[in-house]
Structure 1
Amino acid sequence: MMMENSHPVGDPLNEARNPSPMRAWLAVGSVTVGAFAFVTTEFLPVGLLPQVAQEFGVTPGTAGLMVTIPGVMAAISAPGMMLGAGRVDRRYILLILSVLLLTSNLISAFAPNFAVMLIGRAILGASLGGFWTLALAAAGRLVQPREAARATAMILAGVTFATVIGVPFGTFIASLASWRASFIATGILVTVAMVAQAILVPSLPSKAALRIADLFALLHRTHSRRSLIMVAFIFGAHFSSYTFIAPFLLQYADFSTESITWVLLGFGAIGFVSNFAVSATVTRNLKASLAAMVLMLMISLLMMPALRHSAPTVVAIVLAWGIAFGAIPLCLSLWIQKSTADLPEAGSALFVGIIQVAIAVGSSLGGRVVDRLGIPADFELGAVLALVGLAMLGSFLTRQRTLAQLLPREKGLEPDRTAAKAYK
C-alpha cells in the first residue's frame, strides 16, 4: 500500500482530473469496489478449503497452497511493480491489474485440476501486490488534497468490508451452489469494478518512481529491520492458523457448513468494529494497543484446540480472535508509517511485501503441520509465532525513540523536527 506524491492544492493537473466532486468520488468508489474484490478473492479459499480439497483429492494442508502461492507472488510484485512501472500512467496499471484479477477468478472457477487452480492463484498474487502499491496512492490523487484522508478511508472501508463478508460470502454461495460459483460471483464483481474504473478513473501520471536505493536504505536501519520482522511473525501467527479455521470448525468442533458461514461472518463483523474502536485510542499508546491485541490473538489460538468440544466457547474464542486481528493491521501499519516517515513509499512497499511473505510462509508452514500433526497442532504453532512477535515488540524501548534518533546522522544535516515529533 505504497503512497506516491500527491499533487498540491492548486495544481492544474489535479484540478483537471477532478472536473466535478461527484465524478471524483465515483472514481474513488470504483477503486473501493476493486479493493473489495481483491481482498475477497485473496481470502475466498479460506472458507472453501474443505470443498476444494475434497474435489481435487488433496489434503487440507496442500489445499492451503491456494493462500500460500498468492502471498509469494504478491511479495515479489509489491515492490517489483513500482520499480518496473517507472512513470507509466497509474490508471492503465490499475486496469491491467483488474484484468489479471478477473483472469484469476475465471481460471479458478473452471480449473479442471489443482495444478490449474494454483496457476490462477499465482496470477492473483501477481496482481495483488501491484494493486496495493497503487490503491491508496490513487485515493489522494482522485480528489482534492484536502479530501485525501476521506478518500483513503473510503478505500480502506472496502478492504474492511471484504474482511467482514468476503469469506462468509464465498461459503454462502458454495452452500447454495458450489465453490466454483463463488469464484464466478467474485469475477462478476471484478468486472463491475473494472468497467467503473475504465469510465471514471482519470489519467494518473506519475511524477516520481520508487528507487531500489530507498528500499536498501530502510533495510540498513536496525529499527526498521526489527519492525518488519515483528510484522512477519505477527501476521504469520494469524495466517498459519486462520487458513485452516474452516476445516477445524468442520472436523474438530463439529460445526455444519452453514454454521461456519455465520461464525466467519461474526469474525469479520467484530473485526470491523474492533478496527474503528482501536483507531480512537491507538494514537495515544500504540505499543500498548498492539501488545494487547497480539496477546489476545495468542490466547485465542491456545484456547481453540483445548476447548473445541464446547460450541458456544469456540464461537466466543473466534470472536475474540476477530477482535484481535481486526485491530492488528491498523496498529502495525501505524508502527511502520511512524518508523519510516522520511521514506513512506519504501516503507509501504516493504510493509506490503513482508505481509505477503508472512501469509505465504505462514500458510505453507501451517499446511505442513496440519498434514503431519493435525490442525490443533497448527494452532499451537500460531500461538508460538504470536509469542515471538510479542517478545520482539517488548524488545523495543519502552520509551519510543524519535525519528531523529532512528535516522543515520549525516554531516551538515539537521534532523526533521516535525517528523520526529510525529513519531513520538
Structure 2
Amino acid sequence: MPAGLVALALGGFGIGLTEFVIAGLLPQVGRDLAVSEAAAGWLISGYALTVAVGAIAVTAATAGLPRKPVLTALVVLFVLGNLLSALAPNYPVMMLGRVVAALCHGSFFGIGSLVARRMVAPERASRAVAVMFAGLTVANVLGVPFGALVGERWGWRATFWAITGIGIVAVVAIAVLVPGWAGAVEGGAGKAGAGDGAEGAVAVGMTGGVAGGTAGGTAGGLPAQIRAMRSRQVWLTLAATALSYGGMFGAFSYLAYTFTEVTGFSDTDVAWLLVVYGCGLVLGNIAGGRGADRNRDLTLIVSLAALAATLAAFGLLASSPTASVILVFLTGLFGFAPVPGLITRVTDHAHGVPLAAGANVSASNVGNALGAWLGGLAISAGLGYTAPLYVGAGIVLAGLATMLLAAHGSSRKIP
C-alpha cells in the first residue's frame, strides 16, 4: 500500500473526528458557552451545511491548481478551524471554528479521492479510494466515544486540541508522503483508458515507480470542468449518491430512539450499538472498494438492494434485541459499500475533474439532510420510531432505480 494513501487516510480520520465528535460534547459545550440545546445543535447542522456548499465552492475555486498543495492547504484550514474551536471564548467563535473546519471537508475527500487513485494501478482505483475513506469510517466508530471520554476527563476543549494535533501530523504526512506527480494536474485530454477515457493517465514518479490513476482527463479551469459535468451519467450517479446516503442517514438519525423506545435498550447501550454500526461501515467500505474494482455497477446495484432490504427488515424486527444488533451492523455494511464505487463512477464519467468529486460530497450531504428531514416528518406524523427505517428503505429504493437506469444507459462499461 502506498504510504501516500495512509497519509490521506490520516487526514480523513482527523476530519471525520471533527464531524462526529461534537455529538458527544454538546451538553458540555452548551453549558460552557451558555447556549440552549437548539443553538448547540447548530454546531452540527452548521457544519453539515457548510460541507454541502463548500465541497463545490472550494473545489471550483481551486480548479486547475496542483492537487497536492491544495490538499495540504485544506488540512491547514482544518487545523485552524479546530484551533479556533479549542480556544473559542464564546458561541460565535465556536461556530466560526466549525465553519472553517467544514470548508475543507468536502474538497479534501473529493480532491483526495482523485489523488488516491492516481497512486495505484487503474484496476485498483476503488480500493485506493476505500483506503482513504477508511479514516472517515474509523472516525465514525471512534468519534463519539473518543470525544465523550476525553471531554469527561479533561474538558471538551481538550478534544479539539487533540484533533488539532492529529491535523498537524496529517499536514506533515501529506506533505512528505504524497508524491507530487499524484497531485499534478494534466493539461488537455490525457490518455484514453478504459470506458470513456477517464482511467488513462499513468504517472511516473521520480523514483521510477508507476502509478495508475484517474483521469488524464479534463483538468483545466472551471469552464472546462463544468463542461465535463454535462454527462447524463454524472447526474444520475449524483442522484444515486444523494438517495443512497439519504436512505441510510434518514434511518441512522433516529436509531437511538428506535433502540430505546422500540427495542428496549437502555440509553447507555446506545454507544456500543453505534460502535457495532461503525464496524459495519468499516467492513462495507473495504468490501465495496474491492467489489467495485471487479464490477462496479453490479456492486452498486447489489449493495443498494441489500441496504433497502435490511432497512425494511429492521423496521419489522426492531422489537427484537438480537435482530436489531445484527441489522444495525448490516445497515452500516451495506450503507457504506456503495461509497467507493459511486465516487469513482462519477469522476470517471466526468473525465476526472475535481468538481465532480466535490459535487459527489455535496450530493451526499444533501441526501443526509433530506433523509433526516423525511424521517423526522414520519415520526411527527405519529408513525412511530420505526418509521424512519421504512422511509429510509423507500429512499434507497429510489436510489436503486436511479442506479439501474444509469447502468442501463451507460454506453460503455467502465471497470
Query: What TM-score do you get using the length of structure 2 for normalisation?
Result: 0.73
What is aligned with 2:135? 158
Instruction: Find out whether 1:209 has 2:220 as its counterpart.
Output: yes
What is aligned with 1:383? 390
Residues 7-406 of structure 1: matches in 2 within 5 Å?
25-49=2-26, 52=29, 56-59=34-37, 63-140=40-117, 143=119, 149=125, 152=129, 154-201=131-178, 203=180, 204-207=183-186, 208-212=219-223, 214-215=225-226, 218-219=229-230, 221=232, 223-243=233-253, 245=255, 255-257=266-268, 259-279=269-289, 281=291, 283-284=294-295, 285-286=298-299, 288-299=301-312, 302=315, 307=319, 311-333=321-343, 336=346, 340=349, 342=351, 345-363=354-372, 365=373, 373=380, 380-381=387-388, 383-394=390-401, 400-401=407-408, 403-404=410-411
| Partner Cα separation in structure 2 for residue 133 and residue 334 of structure 1 | 10
Shift of 1:37: 0.8
User: Aligned letter for 1:58?
Assistant: S
Shift of 1:245: 4.4
| Partner Cα separation in structure 2 for residue 161 and residue 76 of structure 1 | 25
Which stretches in structure 1 are left out of the alignment for 5+ residues? 1-23, 405-419
Q: RCO (CA 8 Å, sep 6+): is it higher in 1 or 2?
A: 1
| Partner Cα separation in structure 1 for residue 53 and residue 91 of structure 2 | 23
Q: Deviations over 1:199-242 (max 9, x none)?
A: 44454443333534543654563x54344233223312333443
| Partner Cα separation in structure 1 for residue 56 and residue 40 of structure 2 | 27
Choose 173-182 or 124-133, whichever is displaced more.
173-182
Q: Deviations over 1:234-268 (max 9, x none)?
A: 312333443454577578855344x4332222211
Choose 372-381 or 32-41, whichever is displaced more.
372-381
Shift of 1:351: 1.4
| Partner Cα separation in structure 2 for residue 65 and residue 329 of structure 1 | 26
| Partner Cα separation in structure 2 for residue 57 and residue 336 of structure 1 | 41
Taking a change above 3 Å as real, the CA distance of residues 382 and 63 of structure 1, as seen in their structure-2 partners, is farther
What is aligned with 2:203? none
| Partner Cα separation in structure 2 for residue 64 and residue 375 of structure 1 | 24
| Partner Cα separation in structure 1 for residue 329 and residue 281 of structure 2 | 8
- SS of the residue corresponding to residue 209 of structure 1 reads coil
Taking a change above 3 Å as real, the CA distance of residues 266 and 52 of structure 1, as seen in their structure-2 partners, is farther
Choose 33-42 or 224-233, whichever is displaced more.
224-233
Shift of 1:160: 3.3
Shift of 1:187: 1.8
Shift of 1:128: 0.9
Taking a change above 3 Å as real, the CA distance of residues 99 and 300 of structure 1, as seen in their structure-2 partners, is farther
Check whether the contact 1:90–1:134 (CA below 8 A) recurs between aligned residues.
yes
Taking a change above 3 Å as real, the CA distance of residues 311 and 106 of structure 1, as seen in their structure-2 partners, is farther
Shift of 1:288: 3.9
Taking a change above 3 Å as real, the CA distance of residues 98 and 279 of structure 1, as seen in their structure-2 partners, is closer
Taking a change above 3 Å as real, the CA distance of residues 393 and 136 of structure 1, as seen in their structure-2 partners, is closer
Shift of 1:126: 0.8
Check whether the contact 1:45–1:67 (CA below 8 A) recurs between aligned residues.
yes
Taking a change above 3 Å as real, the CA distance of residues 238 and 177 of structure 1, as seen in their structure-2 partners, is farther
Check whether the contact 1:228–1:351 (CA below 8 A) recurs between aligned residues.
yes
User: Aligned letter for 1:357?
Assistant: V
Alignment RMSD (CA, Å): 4.0
Check whether the contact 1:90–1:206 (CA below 8 A) recurs between aligned residues.
yes
What is aligned with 2:213? none
Taking a change above 3 Å as real, the CA distance of residues 190 and 395 of structure 1, as seen in their structure-2 partners, is closer
User: Aligned letter for 2:363?
Assistant: I
| Partner Cα separation in structure 2 for residue 108 and residue 374 of structure 1 | 37
| Partner Cα separation in structure 2 for residue 313 and residue 125 of structure 1 | 36
Taking a change above 3 Å as real, the CA distance of residues 279 and 360 of structure 1, as seen in their structure-2 partners, is same
Check whether the contact 2:106–2:358 (CA below 8 A) recurs between aligned residues.
no
Check whether the contact 1:168–1:264 (CA below 8 A) recurs between aligned residues.
no
How many residues of Structure 1 are paired with residues of Structure 2 in the alignment? 375
Shift of 1:186: 1.7
Shift of 1:144: 7.3
Q: Deviations over 1:306-363 (max 9, x none)?
A: 53xx65554344223222323242453355456x264664543321221132234545
Shift of 1:152: 4.7
Shift of 1:97: 1.4
Q: Deviations over 1:18-61 (max 9, x none)?
A: xxxxxx944443332112111221222344455555665534x6
Check whether the contact 1:133–1:349 (CA below 8 A) recurs between aligned residues.
yes
Check whether the contact 2:110–2:360 (CA below 8 A) recurs between aligned residues.
no
User: Aligned letter for 1:211?
Assistant: L
What is aligned with 2:414? 422
Taking a change above 3 Å as real, the CA distance of residues 361 and 138 of structure 1, as seen in their structure-2 partners, is same
Check whether the contact 1:64–1:243 (CA below 8 A) recurs between aligned residues.
no
| Partner Cα separation in structure 2 for residue 123 and residue 111 of structure 1 | 13
Taking a change above 3 Å as real, the CA distance of residues 137 and 123 of structure 1, as seen in their structure-2 partners, is same
